[in-house]
A and B are shown apart, each in its own frame.
Chain A
């Protein structure tokens, strides 16, 4: 079988430089950070400018100043901010989205968790992909776990629980069919090993990968259901909390904290942070990525 999907790349419609010179973009960047915890660095500011440009076109605005007023002073500013966040995170979903996160997982976290669990009789790893959208992250995690199943995770039971609010996303996730754009970061090695061909443009995730993942619909704000998501070793929740207001965000984060086992990790999107919304988690660094850690009981750092 030959699989020759052309690598497709995200194309920014504007180039860096003049377009982001307006200081209002930095004000918008700060506003977006304050509300969502997403921080666009200087080199990525053009993406923010692009998103603003698309929104301005949709609402028929000519100047950035007008748009700034819409974001900050108009009666529908909350709705507008939501639309803008949508535009900012659009197209960020793909398989193997963050290699530094995967490296941290396989090179640092799994060895640590494996060492902690050597004494336990049942070796089980539970991962929650919260806000899994169309399944890219969930399957990426599954494939990476399978890669370790002969080594670090030999004789382990791996469960990946993937949830999303949107029924249609969950259905698409279950199907597990992806095109060039979603596969732009997936190497031929993974394409050959874990996918079958649907047609020239699309690949389907193999059954042995699907077997690891359970998809279901879940509202993160449904407190009673959140109480039943216990015993997670890892939680991934990328670009989901950005849409929540401060109070709901804090609540969801404390659910995540109690759903994690001691010594478990919580990952957000690559440019996303909890700001100072929670003081129980420890912000920890791995090469090229950050995560939030629920300190283990033995570390004495609670």
Chain B
């Protein structure tokens, strides 16, 4: 089955409407050291994306009080890595389907952005955690659904329908009816895009944390954030009949082993605080999907 998935994913030429700067940007992100100029030059090829980045940078999620005037200005105040994640967010947001997806793209992006944000918020509480890496991992973890909507639309449509009807998790229905999940199809796309190893690991194992070989704490973080999102109104747009015991989840122990400060976290309060972030995420989604503003000086 995996071979078939790979084959079919290989045949995708480009994702619909993903800006041309996206793949070169991903290559930059995988490197340890990047010059500011490289990023600025790359983005300057696409003024619509650049303008949108500046708008998004001023959203409360990215905590800029003054909207930046240029990409360089944004890098100065937010740091290069934060700006890279913003550009990535905008690029992925352009991946809008030409035909109808079984999973509503707005719902999908709200979940992805929500998860990105929750990953970052948790990692802010953990000394030594890489927040931008956490954000990127959360943003990308479900790219397999894009593949399923585009390449396996015939197989995936009834999966979505049954999950909604029976109010059960999507990946369980995928496994039961298609024989593979968005984790496998996501992995194929991640490999095609040559994403960094830890991101491939997150995409492949966020539902099977114990099976991950590398970057296990990051995979665990995404797994927990994903569950929290689904329990706090940033899921896949339907009621999931389930109880989630995060602290008893093996992923919690894995994360705690790496970051001891997790133990002191007030999970109830964190949950309430997330509800504030839900609003921010919705605003951000409409910003990313809103019409590109008039091109300004980049």
Known interface pairs A39-B273, A108-B242; 7 further A-B residue pairs with C-beta atoms within 8 A, sorted by A's residue number = A39-B269, A275-B266, A275-B268, A285-B231, A287-B239, A288-B232, A290-B268
B279 touches A273 (CB 8 A): no
User: Bound complex: CA of A116 vs CA of B244, how far in Å?
Assistant: 18
Q: Give the residues in chain A near B241, CB-CB below 8 Å.
A: 107-108, 111
Q: Which of B84-92, B120-128, B245-253 contacts its partner?
A: B245-253
B247 touches A41 (CB 8 A): no
27 contacts between A and B (CB under 8 A): A37-B268, A39-B268, A39-B269, A39-B273, A41-B272, A43-B276, A103-B239, A108-B241, A271-B272, A273-B269, A275-B266, A276-B266, A282-B247, A282-B248, A283-B245, A284-B244, A284-B245, A285-B227, A285-B231, A285-B245, A286-B244, A287-B235, A287-B240, A288-B231, A288-B232, A290-B271, A293-B245
**B interface, CB within 8 angstroms of A:** 167, 227-228, 230-233, 235, 239-248, 266-269, 271-273, 275-276, 279
Closest to A30 in B: B269
CB distance from B166 to the nearest CB of A (A): 11
In chain A, positions 238-290 with a C-beta closer than 8 Å to chain B are 271, 273-276, 282-288, 290
CB distance from B57 to the nearest CB of A (A): 20
A43 touches B279 (CB 8 A): yes
User: Bound complex: CA of A59 vs CA of B140, how far in Å?
Assistant: 54
Q: How large is the interface on A (under 10, 10 to 19, 20 to 34, 35 or more residues)?
A: 20 to 34
A283 touches B267 (CB 8 A): yes
User: Bound complex: CA of A102 vs CA of B154, how far in Å?
Assistant: 36
Q: Give the residues in chain B near A285, CB-CB below 8 Å.
A: 227-228, 231-232, 243-246, 271
CB distance from A46 to the nearest CB of B (A): 13
Given contacts A43-B279, A276-B266, contact A282 B245 (CB under 8 A): yes
Q: Give the residues in chain B near A274, CB-CB below 8 Å.
A: 268
Q: Give the residues in chain A near B271, CB-CB below 8 Å.
A: 285, 290
Q: Give the residues in chain A near B230, CB-CB below 8 Å.
A: 287
CB distance from B265 to the nearest CB of A (A): 10
**A interface, CB within 8 angstroms of B:** 33, 37, 39, 41-43, 103-104, 107-109, 111-112, 271, 273-276, 282-288, 290, 293, 301
CB distance from A38 to the nearest CB of B (A): 9
CB distance from B164 to the nearest CB of A (A): 13
Closest to A104 in B: B243
CB distance from A111 to the nearest CB of B (A): 8
User: Bound complex: CA of A284 vs CA of B267, how far in Å?
Assistant: 10
Q: Give the residues in chain B near A107, CB-CB below 8 Å.
A: 167, 239, 241
Q: Give the residues in chain B near A109, CB-CB below 8 Å.
A: 243
Closest to B233 in A: A288
A41 touches B240 (CB 8 A): no
Q: Give the residues in chain B near A276, CB-CB below 8 Å.
A: 266
Closest to A271 in B: B272
Q: Give the residues in chain B near A284, CB-CB below 8 Å.
A: 243-245
B231 touches A287 (CB 8 A): yes
Pairs A-B, 9 closest by C-beta atoms:
A273-B268, A285-B231, A39-B272, A285-B244, A42-B276, A41-B276, A107-B241, A284-B245, A41-B275
CB distance from B238 to the nearest CB of A (A): 9
User: Bound complex: CA of A274 vs CA of B243, how far in Å?
Assistant: 18
User: Bound complex: CA of A275 vs CA of B266, how far in Å?
Assistant: 7
Given contacts A39-B269, A43-B279, A275-B268, contact A301 B248 (CB under 8 A): yes
A33 touches B269 (CB 8 A): yes
Closest to B230 in A: A287
Q: Give the residues in chain A near B235, CB-CB below 8 Å.
A: 287
User: Bound complex: CA of A302 vs CA of B245, how far in Å?
Assistant: 13
Closest to A274 in B: B268
Interface centre among B228, B233, B241, B279 (most CB of A within 10 A): B241
User: Bound complex: CA of A104 vs CA of B266, how far in Å?
Assistant: 22
CB distance from B278 to the nearest CB of A (A): 9
User: Bound complex: CA of A66 vs CA of B231, how far in Å?
Assistant: 40
B268 touches A283 (CB 8 A): yes
Closest to B268 in A: A273
User: Bound complex: CA of A42 vs CA of B278, how far in Å?
Assistant: 11
Closest to A111 in B: B241
User: Bound complex: CA of A99 vs CA of B271, how far in Å?
Assistant: 18
Interface centre among A111, A273, A285 (most CB of B within 10 A): A285
CB distance from A252 to the nearest CB of B (A): 17
Q: Give the residues in chain B near A275, CB-CB below 8 Å.
A: 266, 268-269
Q: Give the residues in chain A near B272, CB-CB below 8 Å.
A: 39, 41, 271, 273
User: Bound complex: CA of A274 vs CA of B271, how far in Å?
Assistant: 13
Closest to A106 in B: B241
User: Bound complex: CA of A41 vs CA of B276, how far in Å?
Assistant: 6
Q: Give the residues in chain A near B273, CB-CB below 8 Å.
A: 39, 41
Closest to A292 in B: B268
Q: Give the residues in chain A near B245, CB-CB below 8 Å.
A: 282-285, 293, 301
Q: Give the residues in chain B near A111, CB-CB below 8 Å.
A: 241
Closest to A300 in B: B248
Closest to B245 in A: A284
User: Bound complex: CA of A111 vs CA of B243, how far in Å?
Assistant: 12
CB distance from A88 to the nearest CB of B (A): 14
